[in-house]
Structure 1
Amino acid sequence: MKKSNERLPVYQNIKTEIREWIQTGIWKQGGLIPVEVTLAKEFGCARATVNRALRELAEEGIFERRRKAGTRVVMPTGRSANFEIPRIRLEIEETGATYHYALLLREVTVPPANVRSKLETSPEICSLHLHCLHYSNESPFQFEDRWIDLKSILEAEQEKFEDINPNEWLVKNVPWTNAERILSAANADAKKAELLSLAEGDALFVIQRRTWRKENLVTYVRLYYPGRFYQMRTIL
């Protein structure tokens, strides 16, 4: 197993690596995976640890497990096959620009009421709150205001998000089943104008997105783009 996060249980690190194998195509959609004994040797752990990782991944919809028939990577549903969560890094790099990102805020706190309603959490539950600024070359391209439900994604509390942005981390580590996206326009307040190198009151293009894994809401994010620079293209 490659370098793991020592702050997480072994089975969680196994789950993370298996997700990466599927994302990168090492394990193909629809294909059978190695038996638990083989994986235990690969990861250098007990078979029971591998069993827990595979069982939880099966519960998340990653695998289909059948007695005497083995464990198979589940083919994507029509929804997940036809709609992908965009990766901001690729969005910028595909224009020929250089991408980099800055983490401005990371805190575990109780969300305000308007965010709790989006996350569907109760007032005593803490969530992970992140502010990020994504750059195209040296120009601010997107301000990200994200909340992650730690009840659904416990591993996120251990991730510092210093070396990987939350968008990429979630796409890599958290398979999703449903998503809601709301597009709107807004005017920049003083804070967002300063972050995005705009004048206060300038137009912003705003994307709100909520993402679920089965019945569990994973994350709620508000993405702010300078309105005069950003355009969205959709092919039907």
Structure 2
Amino acid sequence: MTQSTETTSYKDIKKTVLARIRSGEWQPDSLLPNEQDLAAEFSCTRTTVNRALRELADEGYLERRRKAGTRVLSAPQRQARFSIPMVRDEVEATGGTYRYALVSAETTVAPDWLTARLALRPDQSTVHVRCMHFSGNTPFQYEDRWIVVDSVPQVAQADFSAIGPNEWLIQTVPFTNVELSFLASRADATVARFLDLPEGEPVFTGERITWLEGQPVTYAKMYFGAGYRMTTQF
């Protein structure tokens, strides 16, 4: 096959490698030529080849092991990627008018269940924020969030009367790790009242924990109103 000259990009290499995998030229579990040989074939640098193969590995087509080489995976391992948008952006993306309302905010010692979940000390202080997000006058999300004061000292002086805790956290502190779960729960009396649902009604629920360099930052549960849709691509 005739390859392009020195102008070959990593995208060109990705496209060719993927075509060879899909056509069966490179079979599942087979080893690819080494980077030096591929660089010679494509008339490019090893750095360009490395980027192409690294991205294909990230996308689930290849497995790369030091000294063992790069092989074709027998079954592509595709990964779904989720962004963590601000609720304001989600509402406005649907054409709605975003509105926020604080329900309560208090500084309190972490309850036992949260201490166990986040591996906190028994006496650690948290800020517990409950708030509502609306699309126009329609309930969009009820948020129940705990923020660990030791990890985010600024939260002790934060005013959540005009800005939601998620939006405040995004502006204030980075995070390095996220645990994100989705579940169907039944609306208890509080959730039912805020989302205008019958008590016991199934409700789409998101649960999120974030850490900064191993330190727990926040635990949140988000309950969504009727008709909420989450879409991801992979």
Normalising to structure 2: TM-score of the pair? 0.64
Relative distance call for 1:83 and 1:198 in structure 2 (3 A) is closer
Q: How far 1:192 moved relative to its partner?
A: 1.0
The answer (yes or no) to whether the contact 1:118–1:220 under 8 Å persists in 2 is no
- In structure 2, the partner of 1:235 is 233
**C-alpha separation in 2, matches of 1:195 and 1:211:** 25
SS at match of 2:183: strand
Normalising to structure 1: TM-score of the pair? 0.63
- In structure 2, the partner of 1:119 is 118
SS at match of 2:124: coil
Residue type of the partner of 1:130? Answer: V
SS at match of 2:94: coil
- In structure 2, the partner of 1:180 is 179
Structure 1 stretches (4+) deviating beyond 4 angstroms? none
- In structure 2, the partner of 1:207 is 206
Of the structure 1 ranges 129-138 and 160-169, higher mean CA displacement relative to structure 2 is found in: 160-169
CA displacement, residues 72-111 of structure 1 (integer Å, 9 cap, x when unaligned): xxxxxx9xxx653221000001100000111111000012
Task: Trace 1:1-236 onto structure 2 (pairs within 5 A).
Answer: 83-226=82-225, 228-236=226-234
Q: How far 1:208 moved relative to its partner?
A: 0.5
CA displacement, residues 13-47 of structure 1 (integer Å, 9 cap, x when unaligned): xxxxxxxxxxxxxxxxxxxxxxxxxxxxxxxxxxx
**C-alpha separation in 2, matches of 1:197 and 1:107:** 24
Aligned length: 155
SS at match of 1:171: helix
**Percent identity at matched positions?**
42
**C-alpha separation in 2, matches of 1:86 and 1:166:** 13
Gaps of 5+ in 2: 1-57, 59-80
- In structure 1, the partner of 2:76 is none
CA displacement, residues 125-156 of structure 1 (integer Å, 9 cap, x when unaligned): 11110001100110111010000010010001
The answer (yes or no) to whether the contact 1:119–1:149 under 8 Å persists in 2 is no
Residue type of the partner of 1:102? Answer: A
**C-alpha separation in 2, matches of 1:216 and 1:85:** 19
Instruction: State the superposition RMSD in angstroms.
Output: 1.4
CA displacement, residues 62-81 of structure 1 (integer Å, 9 cap, x when unaligned): xxxxxxxxxxxxxxxx9xxx
Residue type of the partner of 2:137? Answer: E
**C-alpha separation in 2, matches of 1:118 and 1:139:** 32
Q: How far 1:161 moved relative to its partner?
A: 1.1
The answer (yes or no) to whether the contact 1:100–1:136 under 8 Å persists in 2 is yes
Gaps of 5+ in 1: 1-77
**C-alpha separation in 1, matches of 2:191 and 2:126:** 22
